[in-house]
Amino acid sequence: MYQSAERYLKEIMNGKAGLPVQKWNDERAALAAGKTELNKDYARIKAEVQQVEVIRRNVDNILREEARERKQPTKTKGAEL
């Protein structure tokens, strides 16, 4: 197992002596900053979607009310006499 691990590491390291820890830390910091930006965008978009859903529901309610009013027969003056 040791020899297998040694061969694997030699292939991965490409002749380098140490691990690129600083590079990994820099990449992690960049990814964390990107995640923060994406979370801000997500929160903004989520709020916009909620507003659009409220508007959509209100429009649907108005359209249903108008449809109900059209279906109800209106009384004519001649029929009341």
Roughly how many angstroms between the first and final C-alpha of the chain, as a whole number?
103
CA dist 9 to 12, 13, 24, 37, Å? Answer: 5, 6, 17, 35
| AA letter at 15 | G
What are the percentages of helix, strand and coil residues in the chain, rounded to 5? Answer: 85, 0, 15
pTM of the model: 0.55
Q: Does pLDDT of 3 surpass 60?
A: yes
What are the structural domain ranges in the chain? 18-69
Query: 33, 36, 16: which is closest to 25 by C-alpha?
Result: 33
Structure tokens at 47: 């709020």
What pLDDT digit, counting tens, does each position of 9-51 carry?
A: 888 877 777 777 899 999 999 999 999 999 999 999 999 999 9
